[in-house]
Amino acid sequence: VFIGGGGELATAREVLRHKSVEKCVMVDLDEKVVDVSLAYLPEWGGQTVKNDPRFELIIGDAYAYLMNCKDTFDIVIMDISDPIEAGPGIMLYTKELYQHVVTRMSPNGVFVTQAGIADSVPAPHADAGDRDTACFG
By CB neighbour count within 10 A (0-12 exposed, 13-18 middle, 19+ buried), where does 135 fall? middle
From 30, 35, 52, 79, the catalytic residue: 79
Sheet hosting strand 105-113, strand order edge to edge: 55-59, 24-28, 2-5, 73-79, 105-113
Tell me the sheet residues that pair with 76: 2, 111
**Cβ atoms within 10 A of the Cβ of 83, count?**
23
Annotated catalytic residue 79: yes
Amino acid at 119: D
| Catalytically annotated residues | 79
